[in-house]
Amino acid sequence: MGILMLTSFLIVGVVQVSLSSQLLLSLTRIQSSLWVSSAPSPLPLETLEVFPPPLGELIETQCRDVPTGVGIPGFQPGISKSDVFRMLGTPTGTARGYWPNTGAVYYELIPDQVSLGFLFDRQSERIRQTEASFTPGVDSQTVLLTLNGMLGCKLNQQIQQGLEQVWQRKSQQFSFRLDYLKGVIERQKSGRLYIGIWEADLH
Q: What is the pLDDT of residues 55-82, one digit of tens each?
A: 444 444 556 555 554 467 788 999 999 9
Report domain extents, the chain.
3-29+53-153
pLDDT at 23: 43
pTM tops 0.85, yes or no: no
In DSSP terms, which residues pair with 103 in a beta bridge?
96, 120
Per-residue pLDDT of the chain (203 residues; tens, 9 = 90+): 565 544 433 433 333 333 444 444 444 443 433 333 333 334 343 433 433 444 444 444 556 555 554 467 788 999 999 999 998 999 999 998 887 889 999 999 888 899 999 999 999 999 999 999 999 999 888 899 899 989 988 889 999 999 999 999 999 999 999 989 999 999 999 999 999 999 998 88
pLDDT at 66: 56
